[in-house]
Amino acid sequence: MTTLISPALKNYEWGDIIALPDFTGQPRDAKPWAELWFGTHPDGQATVQTGKGVVALSDLVGELSFLVKLIAVAKPLSIQTHPTIAQARAGYERENSRGIDRAAPNRVYRDTNSKPELLCALSEFEMLCGFAPLKQSLALAETNGWFELARHLKMRGLETTVRWALEQGRHKTAANLPKHLRTAGELYANSGGIYVALLMNHVVLQPGQAMFLEPGNVHSYLSGMAVEVMSSSDNVMRAAFTKKHVDLAEFFATASLVENLPDKIVAKSKRHDAGAKILGECEILEYEVGTTFFRVQRIMAVSAVQIQAEHEIELYLCVQGDSGALQQGQACILRKHESLFLAKSSVVFRVF
């Protein structure tokens, strides 16, 4: 039996008014569709239609350890990071003790989980991820005439320069911004976040490529569509490029302010018997992630394929094709030994 789930829609200002409605076959409503959440997190609970009406997904399967999202980015997201599990637990208890409501806009820790993330591009996807080598950033600053930034890098190094950029407040927006930061420069003129962004790695993913973001990784998404898989958490420490709550103390307490050249992940082939019983012609690719919260595979069915789940709960999200059981943009839950039949050529993400 295939249990279809309806995601929770998030209309954040950086979302795209066209991409997700068209991708899922829903009518456009002129609102920015930023994220569709397929999971059990209380901030965005997916639902299921049953014979007794619509119920929360958690009522059927309990609490999932992972959260799957479809995201569409039309404007830059906040420069942000996520905590380790120890930091999340301590922060959650600290905010509880201060009497900050879990749903309050100024709440930072909304649960006790860390938030490792895997982002898998569905279109060309641009992002900032980690900090570039200091020598590279210094050369770029001097070449483009960002002399104040260059001076701070020379005298104080990377971490202190990031702190100066964010803590000092308003800065004159740097001239000669690279193409990938021009939108951010227009939206957030005079923000120290521009200087921070200039120090970060600009990464462009092609469809099928992915990035794994560990807790502490500083990042910002700039444009594109993707599948995002993470632990079931909504703990975000924001530093710039946002109208949401910014908590620099928590950002600096959790962020990794060191040089870091991120590696793009290309999914590797798996045998048919690697975690599922599959009948039919298909290719299974698995993304290598440094976490035990989830595993992610991409199944490309060439023709009719039957998949039998071998874990207690597995989530399947269709990102291409109409297989009959799942259409593009739809997701379902399988329990152990339940089967999903893909009648036609399609591409499905499998998370467990």
Structure-block tokens of residue 42: 């209380």
One-letter-per-residue 3-state SS of the chain: CCEEEECEEECCCCEECCHHHHHHCCCCCCCCECEEEECCCCCCCCEEEECCEEEEHHHHHCCCCEEEEEEEECCCCCEEECCCHHHHHHHHHHHHHCCCCCCCCCCCCCCCCCCCEEEEECCCEEEEEEECCHHHHHHHHHHHCCHHHHHHHHHHHHHHHHHHHHHCCECCCCCCCCHHHHHHHHHCCCEHHHHHHHCEEEEEECCCEEEEECCCCCEEEEEEEEEEEEECCCCCEEEECCCCCCCHHHHHHHCCCCECCCCCEECEEECCCCCEEEEEEEEEEEECCCCCCCCEEEEEEEEEEEEEECCCEEEEEEEECECECCECCCEEEEECCCEEEECCCEEEEEEC
pLDDT at 290: 84
pTM score of the predicted model: 0.94
Structure-block tokens of residue 304: 């009719």
Number of neighbours of residue 117 by Cβ within 10 angstroms: 23
pLDDT at 274: 46
pLDDT at 276: 60
Give the C-alpha separation, 289 to 262, whole Å.
Answer: 13
pLDDT at 126: 98
Pick the closest to residue 140 from 99, 89, 87, 178 (CA basis): 178
pLDDT at 146: 94
- In order of 6, 283, 286, the CA distances from 334 in angstroms are 14, 20, 19
Q: How far apart are the first and last CA of the chain?
A: 17
Which residues, in sequence order, are CB contacts of 307 under 8 Å at separation 6+?
Answer: 276, 277, 278, 299, 316, 334, 339, 340, 341, 342, 350
**pLDDT tens string 288-337:** 898 889 999 999 988 888 899 999 999 999 999 987 889 999 999 999 99
Give the C-alpha separation, 150 to 218, whole Å.
Answer: 21
What residues in the chain have per-residue pLDDT under 50? 273-275
pLDDT at 334: 95
- In order of 86, 124, 157, 179, the CA distances from 127 in angstroms are 27, 10, 23, 13
Structure-block tokens of residue 328: 């593009």
Query: Apex CA 54: angle with CA 52 and CA 58, to 5°?
Result: 105
**pLDDT tens string 171-183:** 888 889 999 999 9
pLDDT at 169: 74
pLDDT at 271: 63
Q: Domains (ranges, CATH) in the chain?
A: 76-127+203-265 (2.60.120.10), 267-351 (2.60.120.10)
Question: What is the separation of C-alpha 69 from the centre of its chain, rounded to a whole number of angstroms?
Answer: 7
